[in-house]
Structure 1
């Protein structure tokens, strides 16, 4: 039997020879269960405590569960008797005191407290014991509830609590006292019970006050203060459609200047990283041997010229034959070709800039013996430059030469370089299905260099109005994206105008920098919450403070990027 409250405890009468055997066995079982617990106590322990044989016990009870069941039946009868006595008391608290004193201040209350605590534990594991406890407890609570309902003060006690609610409250206090008695082993006497019920009366009075406070709070519900938010206006802007891609910068004219002939470097005529004009001498090789050979060839050429002149005079007077004149002319032409060849070789000993541009870092040194084809220095024309990039093939029909192109690179944050689309490849890449494009951009300050990459945007000719808001104003969710629109509303109670939010589902378009296009759901000039939307809910009052609001940009340049 599980007694769930103060008056759930069973009394233990003193064992006398005149008591019948069932009562003798039940009283002995109560002591054993309190000392050793339900599981540790055995039928032999009960027989020893009762002073009878085990066989005699089994004549009355088949097992320990049957003993508990008999205890429950006996206790229910005791409860009915005590309830009848309590109904004769003039006040509710006196009635409860009779119940409490009868069950916890008589007949070894410490034993009963320990038994009750162990029985509660057993009921949590054993469904059969739990049902017995529940049955006894319901009998007790029904009796106390009826007692409260009959009393005049019970109808107004504890702030209007119903009789069954007040009964549950009393049982909760009683259970706590029995648990404490089982732990610290103090004896519950009549004066103690009176003190407990005085405390219970004070508790019920405080409960009455708190209930009044709760009812007052319920009559005038507390209003949450307005939430501070930042705001942004829904703007209508011209956003021409663009095709975005990532491209590489290359030179319109660029080469690594090399030598045509080998030799020893005798002079370098440029500075690393300097500028060069077309035709400037960049480097000279040692040409002293070729120059000596040129002098010899020139001397031979002069002799051949004189011989040719004499041959022409003699041939005119028919002194020599035509064949001898032709031989002189052939010799002259051959020696003239030798002189031209030597002059060409000497000129090739000088390396010239093929176009205007900026030089790089030289790769040769004075005195170095180099071979033909040796790289000397890079030379690049930096204005204008090409940007090579690719777009999907489905965009091909929108493209044509002359479209405006914008280039941004992280090497020059905040700068925009403009140009034109100048070439469309004749073939689509069979692997990526992209088509390669080439744009020409101006680079007057020479800040862009070949080999850089950048973000390329091709602006298409058609334009349309677009509603844009900061990207931070959008609450992204699987069931739909939404924003919170700030509207003026009147307070239904005070009549004052206030600002409140309304959740509005939207369709999101493309994003450019910090801004996002809205294709459906908003109207121009509406005001939306721009930050902190995760903490908001529909209908909340808000107050706007844009002192620290971020400034959205179409081309943001974060300081830590």
Structure 2
């Protein structure tokens, strides 16, 4: 037993001596690789405070073309979708009886006027009583009213466009009987489009006529329709807590049609501000920081105060000045005080685009 214990002790001493007297291997320290980062310059750029909403387009003026009287259609002077001017005759209804009444009343008026002229000299010479003159004058006034009434009945058989616009589909044919209120067609003034959209009530103080809007329609991807706010509803919807705003968009080429759903951007305010890419912002608890690169290519951490954020950009109200370089890619690879190799953001974007095109 003593021999075994002695043998174990000798082995342990030998191992300890072996490891204790091993020559130290020279560790080759590799030089630290300087990381590449992508930077962007802090610049003064236009920024807009916007409110986004959905709106429905309406014709600037819109009516249903109909008749005031029940009558037979004699003539139709338009086709589906025609663009007409104000006062254009659209439909003629049967009007023979009304023409005859106009002729009769005009004859009566002419006769009464001749009679008045004939007795005027007699009244002056006291040959005819003044009462007869007054009777004829009253008869003339009555006949003139009858002429106006007959002309009005005749005009009711002539249906005209009250304003310039585009007609819809024709709903009647020659020879058909139309009745009051029956739709003959529609007429829309689409040279301008009314765009109604709802805005949350918290923005009411910033709403006023003259504000600019930009609208997008699904039918025209990439096209922006610009307009101006013309009016704001006097009531807030108690269910949605929003107020209805109306803007007017020019539509000279008639691209927009009534009833279109449009995405609207109401531009509350437009101004110049210091902007950085949102990727440069480092949130730590309730504070925000950015990494800048100084003249020696060293990383500096700076606390900033943010303003508005919009589509990948952040406004800097405090902490940076125009022209400074902030790191927007490679933030996780560096710490304050590290030396870095700088690559401009434009080159990075170009490389990214080429890589995407190549992979496609």
In the superposition, the TM-score normalised over structure 1's length comes to: 0.49
2:343 paired residue number: 544
Distance across 2 between alignment mates of 1:267 and 1:548: 70
Report the alpha carbon displacement of residue 230 of structure 1 after superposing the two structures with TM: 3.9
Say whether residues 1:156 and 2:18 are aligned partners: yes
CA deviations over 1:360-409 (Å, ceiling 9, x no partner): 333333343221122333333334444444545454444554x4413232
Say whether residues 1:467 and 2:268 are aligned partners: no
Question: 2:213·2:247 contact (CA, 8 Å) conserved in 1?
Answer: no
Say whether residues 1:380 and 2:179 are aligned partners: no
Structure with higher RCO (Cα < 8 A, 6+ apart):
2
Range that drifts further, 269-278 or 387-396: 387-396
Distance across 2 between alignment mates of 1:376 and 1:500: 78
Query: What are the within-5 Å matches in structure 2 for residues 526-537 of structure 1?
Result: 526-531=324-329, 536-537=333-334
1:353 paired residue number: 161
1:244 paired residue number: 51
Higher helix share: 1
CA 1:457–1:304: 2 relative to 1, 3 Å:
same
CA deviations over 1:307-332 (Å, ceiling 9, x no partner): 9679969x979999999998888777
CA 1:416–1:525: 2 relative to 1, 3 Å:
farther
Query: What are the within-5 Å matches in structure 2 for residues 342-421 of structure 1?
Result: 342-401=150-209, 403-411=210-218, 412=220, 413-415=222-224, 417-419=226-228, 421=229
CA 1:484–1:262: 2 relative to 1, 3 Å:
farther
1:454 aligns with one of 255, 259, 263: 263
Say whether residues 1:512 and 2:319 are aligned partners: no
CA 1:375–1:536: 2 relative to 1, 3 Å:
farther
Distance across 1 between alignment mates of 2:175 and 2:326: 74
Question: 1:509·1:516 contact (CA, 8 Å) conserved in 2?
Answer: yes
Query: What are the within-5 Å matches in structure 2 for residues 440-451 of structure 1?
Result: 440-451=248-259
CA 1:550–1:442: 2 relative to 1, 3 Å:
farther
Distance across 2 between alignment mates of 1:356 and 1:82: 119
Query: What are the within-5 Å matches in structure 2 for residues 229-308 of structure 1?
Result: 229-239=37-47, 242-246=49-53, 247-291=55-99, 301=108, 305=112
Range that drifts further, 321-330 or 424-433: 321-330
How many corresponding residue pairs? 343
Larger CA Rg, structure 1 vs 2 = 1
Say whether residues 1:147 and 2:10 are aligned partners: yes
CA 1:516–1:395: 2 relative to 1, 3 Å:
same
2:356 paired residue number: none
Question: 2:294·2:300 contact (CA, 8 Å) conserved in 1?
Answer: yes
CA 1:258–1:515: 2 relative to 1, 3 Å:
farther
Point out where structure 1 has 5 or more consecutive residues left out of the alignment. 1-77, 87-142, 161-207, 490-498, 552-561
Distance across 1 between alignment mates of 2:12 and 2:236: 92
Distance across 1 between alignment mates of 2:102 and 2:115: 21
CA 1:255–1:513: 2 relative to 1, 3 Å:
farther
CA 1:263–1:446: 2 relative to 1, 3 Å:
same
Higher strand share: 2
Report the alpha carbon displacement of residue 147 of structure 1 after superposing the two structures with TM: 3.3
1:522 aligns with one of 304, 317, 320: 320
Distance across 2 between alignment mates of 1:328 and 1:438: 58
Distance across 2 between alignment mates of 1:388 and 1:519: 35
Point out where structure 2 has 5 or more consecutive residues left out of the alignment. 352-360
Report the alpha carbon displacement of residue 469 of structure 1 after superposing the two structures with TM: 1.9
Query: What are the within-5 Å matches in structure 2 for residues 80-91 of structure 1?
Result: 81-84=3-6, 86=7
CA deviations over 1:226-285 (Å, ceiling 9, x no partner): 34x54322112343x635242444444333332222323332223433322211112222
CA 1:503–1:380: 2 relative to 1, 3 Å:
farther
- Counterpart of 2:266 in 1: which secondary structure? strand
Distance across 1 between alignment mates of 2:321 and 2:21: 53
